[in-house]
Every structure is written in structure tokens, then in C-alpha cells.
Amino acid sequence: MKSENQHFDISKHKEYLHVIKENISLVSPVYTNDPLNIYLLLGNHTALLLDTGCGLYPLKSIIADLIGKRELLVFNTHYHWDHPLGNVEFGEVYIHEKEVDIISKPYDVSYFMDSPNEIVKIYAEKNYLIPPAKKVNPLKEGDKFDLGKIKVEVIHCPGHSPGSICLLTNTGELFTSDVAYYGDQFLPKREKFPEVLNSLSKLIRLCEKQKDLELYPSHRQYPCDITLLTDLYKGIENIDNLWNTKKPFDFFNAWQIDDEKFRYFISRS
Ligand SMILES: [Zn+2]
């Protein structure tokens, strides 16, 4: 099998921003949103790692090399499996208060037992139960962190998951997590669409206030701009009109609907 340095694709996007990419389709071909983008922000005295990925290969030594003597904060954008499974390596992590309980327990990935892909052997060795970080701290809307020169603010954007967060920096970046990216969209059941749209509106308002804001999603291409948010908003709003085209997609227990720009998986439960 590959080593961690071949597994992750590491690039320096800006002097203070590294992107560590991981292909999640390696775990199961049902996932097509490659790559997952793990972001590392380097402040003067503190670094912030946004997500820890799939937990397949060690990540900590890679991060240690990049941050030098800085302190390290580790955040999860939300609890879905592709974002927090490397947490155990880091000891202490932060996630929105609504998702603290979920990631404080061993994470059950037994739904990958039938994956045709060789790499799931790494999960099998752990009996498909991935251990959590020792300490999980809660985040909430408006929390601010000073990394030295770079400041970040937590924006709570429920919808994709109850505790999804985005991060706004004072250096012009908006990390949109899985709230907005170009790729297959995972949505809650239809009754919760107003919440999804409300979170997208919140981000659209931020972009209207600050025109040069760059969007950094947790999957696929970056940086994006406000068009991503408005495309997604219009698409989700239009799902009602496409409802009779829905097809069941059982692995996700979801309805699948496609339009010209996105594929949507809408939870059935
Ligand atoms: Zn994701």
C-alpha cells in the first residue's frame, strides 16, 4: 500500500495557506467528490487545521513539518466520515456544539464493509470503528480565534448537517465546508430545505458585503466565488419542480435528483 506522502497531495496555495487533498473515492466508488480539501492556515503563532480527513494514513507528521514551532488548533467542519476520522492522532479537536457527542464516540464505518476497494482493509483492521480524539471542544456561531495576523470567525451554517460550520478570515477567505462546493450534494430531507437555503443566504450576504471574498470549499475546485452559492441556492429552490424525476439511491438512503449543474442526494429519513 501507499505511504502517507503518496496518499495526500499537498500544495502551498498561498504563503499562509496549504491544501492537503485526499481522494475519498478510494474508500468507495459511490463517492465522487474528489478531492476532499483539508486546509491548513498558518498564523504568526498558531496554525489551524480544518478537518482531518478519512483516517486512512497518518497526517500528523505532515502537519508538524508544515507548521514548525506554531501551536496547532484542529477544527472539524462537520461530523460526516470524510472529515473527522484522523482526529485521534491530534488529541484535541473542535467541532460545532451540536456535533460534539457524535465525534466523541468511536466512529462506525461498517457501511464500507462491502466496498470493492482494497483500501477499506485499513478500516477492517480497526473493526470498522475509528477511535475519537481524547478531547472534543464545542464551537458556536461567532466564536473568534486569533492565529497571529490571521483571525478566523465561526459561521454556523446548518443544513448539510446540523452543526456544519464555515470559517471567515480577516484575510479574505471564506471556507465553505460541505455547505457549498461543485459536486454531488448531500441534503437533509425536504422539510429542512428552508434551513439549507437560510445558511446559503447567510453566506451570499457575506459575499455581497465583501466583494473580493474567495470561497474555499471542502471538496473539489477552489477558490470559487459567489456564483457557487447562487447556483446552489437556485438549484435547491428548484428541486420541488423536479420532484417527480427522483430515483431511489439506497446506499445513501436518499432520493437522487439531477439538474444541469448538480446531482442532489436528498435524505429519505
Ligand atoms: Zn464531505
**Cα 140 to averaged position of ligand 1 atoms, centre (Å):** 20
Helix, strand, or coil (residue 56): coil
pLDDT-derived band at 140 (thresholds 50, 70, 90) equals very high
For residue 106, how far is its CA from the centre of ligand 1 (angstroms)? 19
Environment class of 46 (CB within 10 Å of its CB; exposed 0-12, middle 13-18, buried 19+): middle
| Separate counts of helices (H) and strands (E) for the chain | 6, 18
The pair phi, psi for residue 75, each rounded to 5°, is: -110, 150
**pLDDT computed for residue 148 by the predictor:** 98
- Say what the pLDDT of residue 2 is: 58
5 pLDDT higher than 80: no
For residue range 85-109, list pLDDT tens digits in order.
999 999 999 999 999 999 999 999 9
Residue with C-alpha cell 506522502? 5
Q: What angle do CA 134, 149, 21 make, to 5 degrees?
A: 55
Q: What is the pLDDT of residue 4?
A: 65
Q: Give ion ligand 1 contacts, CB < 5 A.
A: 82, 178
The span from the CA of 86 to the CA of 131, in Å, is 9
Give 218 Cα–ligand 1 centroid separation in angstroms: 7
Alpha-carbon distance 157 to 178, whole Å? Answer: 10
Give me the mean pLDDT over the 109-130 stretch: 96
User: DSSP label at 63?
Assistant: H
In one letter, which amino acid is 31?
Y
- CA–centroid distance, 228 to ligand 1, in Å, is 16
What's the 205 CA to ligand 1 centre distance in angstroms?
23
Q: CA neighbours within 13 Å on the CB side: how many for 87?
A: 31
Distance 257 CA to ligand 1 centre (A): 19
Average pLDDT over residues 113-138: 96
Using the mean position of ligand 1's atoms as its centre, give its distance from the Cα of residue 245 in Å: 25
**Per residue in 142-179, pLDDT tens?**
999 999 999 999 999 999 999 999 999 999 999 999 99
Residue 53 has pLDDT above 70, yes or no: yes
- Among 48, 52, 137, smallest CA distance to 89 is for 52
The pLDDT assigned to 6 comes to 87
What distance in angstroms lies between residue 183's CA and the mean position of ligand 1's atoms?
10
Contact 171, 213 (CB under 8 A): no
- Per-residue pLDDT tens over the stretch 199-235: 999 999 999 999 999 999 999 999 999 999 999 999 9
| b/e per residue 53-83 (b: at least 16 CB within 10 A) | bbbbbebbebbeebbeebebbbbbbbbbbbb
Query: What pLDDT, on a 0 to 100 scale, did the predictor assign at position 214?
Result: 98
Indicate if the pLDDT at residue 257 is higher than 70.
yes
Architecture category of domain 4-239 in CATH: 4-Layer Sandwich (3.60)
pLDDT in tens, 27-42: 999 999 999 999 999 9
Q: What is the average pLDDT across 52-68? A: 97
- CA 36–ligand 1 middle distance (angstroms): 7
Every domain of the chain and the residues it spans: 4-239
Ligand 1: centre distance to CA 184 (Å): 10
Q: 83 C-alpha vs ligand 1 centroid, how far in Å?
A: 6
Place of cell 422539510: 191
